[in-house]
Amino acid sequence: MNVLVVYCHPDPGSFVHAVLERALAGLAVGDHTVRLTDLYADGFEPTMSPTERATHADPGVGPELQRYADDLAWAEALVFVYPTWWGGLPAMLKGWIDRVWVAGVAWELPEGSAVLRPLLTDVRRIVAVTTHGSPKRINVLEGEGGKRTLFRSIRLMCSRRTRTTWVAMYGVDTASPADRTTYLGRVERVLRRL
Amino acid sequence: MDALVVVANPNPASYGHALAAAAADGLGAAGHTVTLLDLYADRFVAAMTAAERHAYHTSEPILDPQVAASAELVQRCEILVFVYPTWWSGLPAILKGWLERVMVPGVGVRFRPNGRVAPGLPHVRRIVGISTYGSPRAYVAGVNDNGRRTLTRALRMSCGWRARPLWLGLYKMDARTDADRAAFLTRVRDRMARL
């Protein structure tokens, strides 16, 4: 499959970066072509501009975002690797969705219709690989907004038969090195079986 | 009480800005002291930096004076009002980033010695969300209003359960008439005046 890995963390020395490395190692075993988007390394600007907002009904993205739109058109699987902050996607990753998942890229509004028509229908797998500082019960109480954003709103722009996989570690703030090692192993195994 | 109205909208002439002004009007009429924080006008940086991430668990997690100014505001204000368009069932990136960079240990949360999190803003009495939605209300309920959850659950945990949430939403924006929009502005102003 064509696998687009979207990675979001500011620190290349972070645990989330180690998670990314294991995810890529797992993917390398399968018969996939992998493209990696490292939002922070790209210096991606997460904030939608006034002009982008004013023209949001017009299809397509500006030239500086074209490669992100092309990657989405190419992808058959999306793998997100990110820390869950405040129960959801970090601002940088949310900003990539805000600015790239636009009309003519992720969806279109057919003439006379009030219902969005999905355009990323080649995507049939979404995997979310994410760490949480807090324990699972806190995240459940918070409503797991990141999971729902990816597995509902985003998924609706993809193939109707898209399968989703949640590979999460909770309680990272109080986890032992052994816990982290276990999670890293699980991440690699899941991606090996993509 | 002191009230903070945070508006996250790219266009200064937007309906969202009109909503924020109506909220501020209403709060002022109720006798509250209002500070308006316009994230786009202030060019607030959304993405937490690597340096900020490293500093997060130290005694000095705030590195940016702009963030410090916001931290001072939330530590003073008992009413927090957020005005924003819901994008992809959640907060626009600039507002999510404001939460992440401002509500750091010592501000939004306090870490107890056993690593557990305690509220950092126990003085907050009201969390108000005012949001516009492209989708109909039923669709928002189906995909879940994750922006609302972030503010009325996650942020509320930083304030303690005494902080009461209030939600005012206008759905199916593309189908709304001028009369609908004017009516919602009035509703926002009136509701804030009764806060």
**Of residues B195, B143, B135, the one with CA closest to residue B169:** B135
**Chain A: nearest CA to B190, how far in angstroms?**
29
pLDDT band for position B182 (50/70/90)? very high
Which chain A residues are closer than 8 Å to B87 by Cβ? Answer: 48, 97-98
Comparison of pLDDT for A36 and B110, the residue scoring more: A36
CB–CB of B89/A149 below 8 Å?
yes
- Give the distance from CA A100 to its chain's centroid: 12
> Residue B131: which domain range?
2-193
Burial of B16 (0-12, 13-18, 19+ CB in 10 A): buried
pLDDT, tens only, B95-150: 999 999 999 999 998 877 887 778 999 999 999 999 999 999 999 998 899 999 99
> Residue A35: which domain range?
2-192
The pLDDT of residue B116 is 74
CB–CB of B171/B135 below 8 Å?
yes
Angstrom distance (rounded) from CA A85 to CA A15: 14
A54·B88 Cβ contact <8 A = no
pTM for this model (two decimals): 0.96
Angstrom distance (rounded) from CA A91 to CA B92: 8
For chain B, percent helix, then strand, then coil, each to nearest 5?
A: 45, 20, 35
pLDDT band for position B48 (50/70/90)? very high
Residues constituting chain B: 195
CB–CB of B16/B84 below 8 Å?
yes
Of B12, B93, B154, the CB nearest to A94: B93
Give the pairing type, strands B2-7 and B109-111. Answer: unpaired
With a CB cutoff of 8 Å and minimum separation 6, the contacts of B123 are B75, B78
pLDDT, tens only, A129-180: 999 998 999 899 888 999 999 999 999 999 999 999 999 999 998 899 999 9
A98·B92 Cβ contact <8 A = yes
Is the pLDDT at B167 greater than 90? The verdict is yes
The pLDDT of residue A89 is 97
B65-72 mean pLDDT: 98
Neighbours of B22 (CB within 10 A): 23
Angstrom distance (rounded) from CA B194 to CA A77: 50
Of B10, B87, B89, the CB nearest to A49: B10
Minimal-distance CA residue of chain A relative to B103: A86
**Chain A: nearest CA to B185, how far in angstroms?**
21
B175·A114 Cβ contact <8 A = yes
CATH code assigned at A141: 3.40.50.360
Chain mean pLDDT for chain A: 96
CATH code assigned at B8: 3.40.50.360
B99·A86 Cβ contact <8 A = yes
When divided into structural domains, chain A yields a total of: 1
ipTM for the whole complex: 0.96
When divided into structural domains, chain B yields a total of: 1
pLDDT, tens only, A172-185: 988 999 999 999 99
